[in-house]
Amino acid sequence: MALAPENQIDRLVQEHPQAVIAKLKLKCEPSAFVVYDALADAAFGEALLEVLAHKRTLHGRRGLMRGITTRAFRPLLPKGQPLPPPKIMRAEQSNTSIRFGDRLVLKLIRKLSPGVNPDLEIGRLLTEKRFPHSAPTAGAIDLRLNQDEPMTIAILQGL
């Protein structure tokens, strides 16, 4: 989720009505805010790709999140060739996918479970074996809460 100031409410409602969660008015603040799904913000999608591209580890109070790439990542994201802004794909599915032009798709897993997601595990194996009939798996973001087993929260694939 993300928080935006009152002057952005109209734009968010017009451009991403399904992303708006609530309007928030705090007693200590003169203006209102809107709570919305951060995926409606292109900067959030770009930040997720940045976590992958630089294999970053982000530490939080209850755990950490880290980006992992495969050898398919660099050929799909050549240096000096900027990607178009991320766009949420509108297909009906249980996960949310962000498309980066005609090269990459980042699938965010909405129903998390401990361990490596089967889509990631199979995709990584097929990518390592250079199987030509499936999209290459370029990386993933995982989440580890406390000492629990890591959970796959996003999978990056080529188109």
Whether residue 80 sits in one domain with residue 10: no
Distance from chain centroid for Cα 143: 12
Whether residue 29 sits in one domain with residue 89: no
Whether residue 79 sits in one domain with residue 115: yes
**C-alpha distances in Å from residue 95, one per residue of 90, 91, 100, 139, 148:** 11, 9, 16, 17, 23
Whether residue 125 sits in one domain with residue 60: yes
Quick one: what percent of the chain has pLDDT higher than 90? 45
Residue 33's closest CA among 9, 57, 54, 53? 9
Quick one: what percent of the chain has pLDDT higher than 70? 97
Q: What is the mean pLDDT of the chain?
A: 88
Contact 19, 4 (CB under 8 A): no
Task: Count structural domains, the chain.
Answer: 2
The helix/strand count (H/E) of the chain reads as: 4, 10
Provide the domain limits for residue 31: 2-39
Whether residue 31 sits in one domain with residue 100: no
pTM, full prediction: 0.85
pLDDT of 8 reads: 84
Whether residue 31 sits in one domain with residue 64: no
Whether residue 102 sits in one domain with residue 46: yes
Lowest-pLDDT choice from 8-12, 36-40, 109-113, 149-153: 8-12
pLDDT tens digits, one per residue of 104-133 = 999 999 888 888 999 999 999 999 999 999
Whether residue 98 sits in one domain with residue 31: no
Contact 138, 73 (CB under 8 A): yes
pLDDT of 55 reads: 94
pLDDT tens digits, one per residue of 48-96 = 999 998 999 999 999 999 999 999 998 888 777 788 888 888 766 677 8
Whether residue 93 sits in one domain with residue 153: yes
pLDDT band for position 154 (50/70/90)?
very high
Whether residue 150 sits in one domain with residue 114: yes
Whether residue 80 sits in one domain with residue 23: no
